[in-house]
Amino acid sequence: TLFRSAYVISEYCYSDWMELRHDIESALEQDIVDAFVICPNTIFNLTLAAEKMVSTEYNLPAITIKKSNTVIQCGKDGSRENKCIIVGGTNQIVINSSPSGVKLVGLTMLHSTNSAVNAAGDYNASATIYDCEFSSHFGPAAVLIHNSGSGGNYTEGELSESIPVILSSFREDMHNRNKDDEIQRRSVVQQMGNSMSVDFEYCTFSDNRVMYAAVVVVGGRARSINSVFSRNIAEVRTVLTLHYS
């Protein structure tokens, strides 16, 4: 891939979500620079039945990235054609705190109820998402970019609650210009501002039925290079960027 010369490719590959999550989050305390390679033809199903014969479901926890230069890629060459698929869950991958140089390469991310990537780092954080597919998400957005506050260290539950506050105010104010709503929205955007930067390269966003936008950016920066947005249904627009000075 574009990034292959930038890091060492591990000989080991992952096919178990919880093992991958453990090793990525444990790497924060270690001097690990290898890419985390997902085995080709792996499907991670994050939404599981609680018990046989019971319809109740529960979600496996998201992977949280806090270490700079963390790389998660599909197969040794990082190609989407290797079919590394993440399905379901609330948030699938969360970026927190101040990591720079994060890379997600060749992943197919489907059916989250909040976001595939919750990019909640501060203004020092950055990520490149390369050759990834985002499809059939039905939460607020497929990708959320915002500063979760307190150095980006929100819990997953708090992440799920933070974005709708500002977006609900934004939606209401689109139809009814209300001064109190605007003041509230400015306050929340300022609190969640100074967000991270995310580049999308050769990515596909398709068939997402999201509340607000396929990509929501609150006080941060998103750049799309050779990426395709198609057949997305969103209440606001394809990409929603909110800034207040």
pLDDT at 118: 92
User: What's the predicted TM-score (pTM) here?
Assistant: 0.81
Least confident among 40-49, 106-115, 192-201: 192-201
Q: Is the pLDDT assigned to residue 184 strictly greater than 70? A: no
Q: Tell me the average pLDDT across 130-142.
A: 94
Q: DSSP letter string over 43-105?
A: EEE-EEESSTT---EEEPPPEEE-STT-EEEETTTT-GGG-EEEE--SEEEEE-SS--SEEEE
pLDDT tens for 89-132 read: 999 999 998 999 999 999 999 999 989 999 999 889 999 999 99
Give the pLDDT band (50/70/90) at residue 151: very low
Give the pLDDT band (50/70/90) at residue 53: very low
Is the separation of the CB atoms in 26 and 36 below 8 Å?
no
Least confident among 12-16, 147-151, 227-231: 147-151
Give the pLDDT band (50/70/90) at residue 237: low
Is the separation of the CB atoms in 27 and 73 below 8 Å?
no
Q: Is the pLDDT assigned to residue 77 strictly greater than 70? A: yes
Burial profile 145-154: b = 16 or more Cβ within 10 angstroms, e = fewer = bbbbbeebeb
Q: Is the pLDDT assigned to residue 175 strictly greater than 80? A: no
CB atoms within 10 A of CB 9: 15
Q: Of all residues in the chain, what percent carry a pLDDT higher than 70? A: 67
pLDDT at 129: 97
pLDDT at 159: 47
Q: Tell me the average pLDDT across 170-179.
A: 48
Q: Is the pLDDT assigned to residue 174 strictly greater than 50? A: no
pLDDT at 213: 86
